[in-house]
């Protein structure tokens, strides 16, 4: 008797499972297709990103290897193209190459490229801070103190490893403008901060002792 009941229950469960699949076969098919498409998209996107990154890498290295005095304009155009691709590695390297070789004399155009990296490129936080510092360094000789402070404030107000570098740039900026009190204040901020770079602290102390002692 119990065995008969067990067989009946088993058959009933099988029938329910069968009916479930029959009644929901379209939904199940759609679900399975969706999962497969998501997996294909995920892995396909990863491969696409790797392919794109390899293309950017090849373009960057071929550009700097081929660089010479006769193809400066062509080199510059290619490097600008890489910067506009907003690659986390090769876009910053392209701007550094432009700056190191003075390929673009127009400060406005250089600042536009800086802003593309700072505001539109997904960068590691400290890489972004380094680029902000480099923007300040690039502009220091040609902008007002308020403009320089505006550029560097995101670093100064952070815990960035580049904070003491930014403070040192400001201290030297005000020293060059013969604003010695402001310069001294920034040098002292470097010395009094526990997060300052040791080499920057040493240079700041030398400057204070040599040129700004009371």
What would the pLDDT profile of 106-119 be if each residue is shown by its tens digit? 999 999 999 999 99
Alpha carbon distance 214, 199 (integer Å): 23
Select from 122, 138, 158 the last residue of a domain: 122
110 and 92 assigned to the same domain:
yes
What is the number of alpha carbons within 13 Å of residue 81 lying toward its C-beta?
Answer: 12
82 and 71 within one domain: yes
**pLDDT, position 194:** 87
Whether the pLDDT of residue 44 is over 60: the answer is: no
In the listed set 122, 154, 181, which residue is the last one of a domain according to the structure?
Answer: 122
User: Are 94 and 104 found together in one domain?
Assistant: yes
Are residues 37 and 96 part of one domain?
yes
* 81 lies in the same domain as 116: yes
Residue 96 near residue 117, CB atoms below 8 Å: no
pLDDT band at 38 (very low <50, low <70, confident <90, very high): low
Percent above pLDDT 70 for the chain: 76
Q: Give the mean model confidence (pLDDT) for residues 122-126.
A: 94
Q: What is the pLDDT of residue 212?
A: 85
Q: How confident is the model at residue 166 (pLDDT cuts 50, 70, 90)?
A: very high
Same domain? 43 vs 83: yes
Q: Are 174 and 182 in contact (CB under 8 A)?
A: yes
Based on the fold, state whether residues 61 and 118 are members of the same structural domain: yes
Confidence of residue 95 (pLDDT cuts 50, 70, 90): very high
**Is 11 part of a structural domain of the chain?**
no
Both 65 and 133 in one domain: the answer is: no
Structural contact between residues 110 and 138, judged by C-beta atoms closer than 8 angstroms: yes
pTM over 0.85: no
- What pLDDT was estimated at residue 149? 96
Q: Which of 105, 122, 139 is the last residue of a domain?
A: 122
pLDDT at residue 54 is higher than 60: yes
Q: Is the pLDDT of residue 94 over 90?
A: yes
Own/partner long-range contacts of 103-107 (Cβ < 8 Å, ≥24 apart) = 103/72, 103/75, 103/76, 103/79, 104/76, 107/138, 107/139, 107/142
Q: pLDDT digits over 192-203, tens only?
A: 998 899 999 999
Q: Structural domain of residue 174, as residue ranges?
A: 124-214
């Amino acid at each position: 008797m119990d065995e008969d009941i067990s067989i009946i229950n088993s058959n009933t469960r099988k029938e329910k499972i069968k009916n479930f699949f029959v009644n929901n076969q379209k939904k199940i098919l759609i679900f399975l297709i969706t999962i497969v498409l998501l997996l294909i998209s995920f892995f396909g996107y990863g491969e696409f990103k790797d392919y794109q990154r390899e293309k950017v890498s090849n373009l960057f290295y071929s550009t700097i290897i081929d660089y010479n005095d006769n193809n400066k304009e062509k080199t510059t155009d290619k490097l600008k193209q890489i910067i506009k691709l907003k690659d986390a590695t090769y876009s910053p390297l392209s701007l550094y190459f432009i700056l190191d070789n003075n390929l673009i004399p127009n400060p406005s155009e250089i600042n536009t490229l800086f802003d593309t990296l700072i505001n539109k490129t997904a960068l590691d936080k400290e890489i972004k801070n380094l680029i902000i510092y480099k923007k300040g360094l690039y502009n220091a000789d040609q902008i007002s103190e308020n403009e320089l402070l505006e550029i560097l404030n995101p670093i100064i107000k952070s815990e960035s490893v580049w904070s003491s570098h930014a403070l040192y740039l400001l201290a030297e900026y005000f020293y060059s403008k013969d604003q010695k009190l402001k310069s001294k204040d920034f040098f002292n901020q470097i010395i009094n901060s526990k997060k300052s770079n040791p080499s920057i602290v040493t240079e700041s102390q030398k400057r204070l002792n040599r040129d700004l002692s009371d």
